[in-house]
Chain A
Amino acid sequence: MTVGEKSGNTGRAEVLNGPFTTRQLLRLDDALRGADESTGLTFSVYVGELDQPVRGHAEKLHSQLNDPDHSVLVAVSPNLRVLEIVTGHEARRRVPDRQAKLAALSMAAAFSGGDLAGGLVAGLAQLAGQAGKH
């Protein structure tokens, strides 16, 4: 589900113009749903342009989620070749910064090989595994 789908069907068309194939979208959907259901946290993935400062922009996006305290945002800018993981106050207790860093490292390794979807799926699984069951 894209964030934009809440506002109409145009979100569905927009996502098909995104960087992922249908198969990759299904993998991402599975990964996001599995992570949410197993941890009780809300995981979100943003892929696109990030303004400078990148961290500030990622935190602003994170703050727009419904429950930022229990949310984890993975923001990726392929053009800037940076990724940000933002954990809310409660989510940070479940996913310490050190573990988030490990997930970021594994994602960056996949991204450097051109595998956006694979890196995101692996990173989400790593973050969800660290957060544990709720």
Chain B
Amino acid sequence: MFAGIPAAVIAIIYGLVYATSSASNSKRYRPGRPFNQSTVWFIANTPGAAVAGHAAREIGAGAGSHALSGGTADSGATTHGAHHHDAAEAGHDGSGLTTVGYGETGGASDSW
């Protein structure tokens, strides 16, 4: 009895803590581990903020990244010509730490 009751209490507490933490961390991103969550795309909930484009609407409609593949299988150079050629050339030098600057769009790239 003196060993069984404390052991049972410990087991119950351990079970509760483990169940709670595993449930709350199920969505947590862990770098280096496969990331299998749905693709999400957000814009602010303001009037006039909308997306034009068939593929974009499909993202949130349940098709996930597969919906994008139809619209982006030829993404990059073939669709928008020189614009994306520039992007590919200026974007990555292997380190993933380059600043991209060219053409109509700007921005930056990074990796971790």
Contacts and interface: CB of A to CB of B under 8 A. Distances in A.
B17 interface: no
Nearest to A60: B75
B22 interface: no
Given A1-B45, A45-B41, A60-B79, A105 B110 contact: yes
Q: Which of B42, B58, B73 has the most CB of A within 10 A?
A: B42
A62 B57 CA distance: 13
B20 interface: no
B41 A57 contact: no
Contact of A66 (B50, B57, B61, B80): B50
A11 B61 contact: yes
B105 A86 contact: yes
A81 B107 contact: no
Interface residues of A, number: 81
Given A3-B41, A32-B44, A37-B46, A64 B110 contact: no
A122 interface: no
B15 interface: no
Interface string A91-122: 11001111011011101110111111000000
Interface string A9-26: 011011101111100000
Contact of B42 (A17, A45, A92, A116): A45
Contact of B52 (A45, A54, A65): A65
25 contacts: A2-B60, A3-B41, A3-B51, A4-B41, A10-B61, A17-B38, A33-B45, A42-B44, A44-B41, A44-B42, A45-B42, A47-B37, A47-B39, A47-B40, A59-B80, A60-B71, A60-B75, A78-B35, A83-B110, A87-B105, A88-B105, A98-B99, A100-B106, A111-B112, A116-B29
